Chains A and B, each alone.
Chain A
Amino acid sequence: MRLRAVPVTLCAFALLAVAAYVATALGSRGGELTLELDWPHRLFAGADRGLAAVIAELRAPRVAAAALTGAALAVAGLVLQGVSRNPLADPFLLGVSGGAGVVVVALYAVPSVIPTLGWWIVPVGAFAGAQAATALVLTLSRGPRGRVTVLGLILGGVVVNAFCAAIMTVLLVSLEPLRLRFASFWLAGGVSSAEWGQIAIAAIGVGVASVFMWARGGAINAFGLGEEGAGLVGVDTRRLLRESAWAASLLTGLAVSLSGMVGYVGLIVPHAVRLLVGGDVRANVPLAAASGALILVVGDAAARSVISPAELPVGVLTALIGTPILFVLIRREMRRGA
């Protein structure tokens, strides 16, 4: 049974608000978990200024970053799956993961760069690497007469990712074992380093890109007729493909700069959304954003709780949470079809 998009979207936003509230209440001390459900009070009127600082400067930004990351990845995946009609399209296809990963591993490889310049160099570097990789993909994927095609994008992305992976391997091997571990954990994805300035910038970027793709959603739907078919109903496919690639790359680059490489969200959330409410890309953008945000807020809360005080890379959890959900949804679909 297909549900209607609007009520489901409102529901998702409501759930997101609840999850964000609870996630901000979740803390840890030494080796134990704590739950301060009255955190707004403690934040503004509480006597423990230290705790207030922890909530305002560490916990809240982390929850915000998780939400933004999830939203960005989900929308990017939705857009890419929409233009490519490929259910395996993932935001990291456009070379983003390779580009970001190479830059970050390189930063870890040169000792004392990060401590000297400050942690900010990592998110900025990740973002820059992501965009550079996408530019490379777009150049490589240019077909005859300079046309950008979906197939070209996918192939170009595969090539760039493979190339970056090779460089990363060389760099990783040169790292001291402990630094190797640090770099690997960053690569595995972990929310929490962002601070409000970075979050504000990311929020603007994610917001603008999402609204932009929401407006393009109707045209993206036309890709259901194939690339040529979309052209026949008035879509400037070359331009739309380029715009979609850049928007997806921007969204994914921002996500990676906030939280490292968090996989599965960009792949699974669009699927789940489509299975629930159908394939209208335009209607699905807000729902995908809310769902992605929800999943990652919950995932991050879990990542810092399951083996507390140690933290699990959230990318591991997104795989664990996301895969069974996808399984269930696909089975529903298969049963409906039969």
Chain B
Amino acid sequence: MTLLETRELVCGYGARAVVDAGSFLLEAGESVSIIGLNGAGKSTCLRTICGQLPPLAGDVLVNGRSVAALAPRERARSIAFLPQHAEIDLGLSVEELVRLGRTPYLGRFGHLGPDDARQVEIAMELCRVRGLRGARLGELSGGERQRARLAMVLAQEAPVVLLDEPTSHLDVVQRFALHGVLAEMRERRKTAFVIVSHAIADAERFGDSVILIKDGKAGHLGPSKRGAVRAALVAAAGIPEEWVY
């Protein structure tokens, strides 16, 4: 079943087009990696897909419905976005942060129910931050904090999850742990992922297909095969292969 679909999507700001993303489909349990050089427009793409930015042309559909037409609550229940940088209040505890992921499910009087509490527990469990539930975000390491943020995204229960450079500040072990979580989400909930990453190896291993953004156009590189992405990036960047890793 097609979860996410873009139709002749053009992303940009105001009158300035940045990326012609074209059209692509994403099914449940699938994931696509977006790669490209800095400034190419990868984040702009993500922000347009999740509805933060209006498309300059074309449309984004989730479960057949246009994202632009959805109310914020609906949108948050369908698409979750983990930005690279966020001004999160570091005084929040892990549990408080994850609970914020249930905001799209607040009742009429702003309350959360037992089902919400359960989702929070599941999310924390999956991301292995349950033991840290009372800790303040400011006291955690980079990796722990990232897992907490991911738990929040998980708690949103959105079938489509967008991640912008999720492993950029993580060490090898932390990256491995994070990918474990993503894999479990894909396994258990059939979550569809769109991941922007500089980590080519991750893109090759995790993504089902890869999109390369270059010169304002998104080119579908097809299913990710070992080495194919590297080759494409070498061609795109024009630098020696040894330097692409």
Instruction: Please give the residue numbers on chain A whose beta carbons come within 8 Å of chain B beta carbons, in ascending order.
Output: 85, 214-219, 221-222, 224-226, 228-236, 278-280, 282
Contact = CB atoms under 8 A, between A and B. Distances in A.
Interface in B67-126: 71-77, 80-81, 83, 86-89, 91-92, 96-97, 100-101, 103-104, 106, 108-112
A230 B104 CA distance: 10
B197 interface: no
Given A221-B103, A279-B91, 16 more contacts: A214-B110, A218-B103, A218-B106, A219-B103, A224-B88, A225-B87, A226-B88, A229-B83, A229-B88, A230-B103, A232-B50, A232-B52, A233-B76, A233-B101, A233-B156, A234-B75
A195 B96 CA distance: 43
B165 to A, nearest CB: 16
Contacts of B71: 236
Nearest to B91: A279
A215 B89 contact: no
Chain B CB count within 10 A is highest, among A224, A230, A282, for A224
What 5 A-B pairs come out closest when comparing CB atoms? Answer: A234-B76, A234-B104, A218-B110, A226-B87, A224-B89
Nearest to A224: B89
A74 to B, nearest CB: 18
B72 A234 contact: yes
Nearest to B78: A234
Contacts of A234: 72-77, 103-104
Chain A CB count within 10 A is highest, among B52, B103, B112, B152, for B103
Contacts of A226: 86-88
A15 B73 CA distance: 40
Nearest to B134: A2
A218 B104 CA distance: 10
B60 to A, nearest CB: 15
Chain A CB count within 10 A is highest, among B74, B76, B80, B156, for B76
A215 B96 contact: no
Interface of B: 50, 52, 71-77, 80-81, 83, 86-89, 91-92, 96-97, 100-101, 103-104, 106, 108-112, 152, 156
A232 B92 CA distance: 18
Given A218-B112, A232-B50, A85 B83 contact: no
Contact of A217 (B89, B110, B152): B110
Nearest to B100: A222
A218 B106 CA distance: 7
Contacts of A228: 52, 83, 86
Contacts of A219: 103, 106, 110
Contacts of A217: 110
A215 B110 CA distance: 5
A77 to B, nearest CB: 17
Contacts of B97: 224
Chain A facing B: main interface SS: helix
Nearest to B54: A145
B86 A225 contact: yes
Contact of A233 (B74, B91, B103): B103
Contact of A224 (B100, B104, B110, B111): B100
15 contacts: A215-B108, A215-B109, A216-B110, A221-B103, A222-B103, A224-B89, A225-B89, A226-B88, A231-B52, A232-B50, A233-B104, A234-B72, A236-B72, A279-B92, A282-B111
A251 B81 CA distance: 36
A247 B225 CA distance: 56
A198 to B, nearest CB: 29
A228 B109 CA distance: 23
A280 B111 CA distance: 11
Contacts of B77: 234
A279 B96 contact: yes
Contacts of B52: 228, 231-232
Contacts of B81: 232
Chain A CB count within 10 A is highest, among B88, B89, B108, for B89
A216 to B, nearest CB: 6
A140 to B, nearest CB: 23
Nearest to B75: A234
Contacts of A236: 71-73
A4 to B, nearest CB: 14
Contacts of B112: 218
A49 B108 CA distance: 49
A189 B73 CA distance: 42
A234 B152 CA distance: 13
Nearest to B104: A234
Chain B CB count within 10 A is highest, among A218, A221, A279, for A218
Chain B CB count within 10 A is highest, among A216, A219, A222, A225, for A225
Nearest to A225: B88
B113 to A, nearest CB: 12
Contact of B89 (A85, A218, A235): A85
Contact of B100 (A231, A233, A278): A233
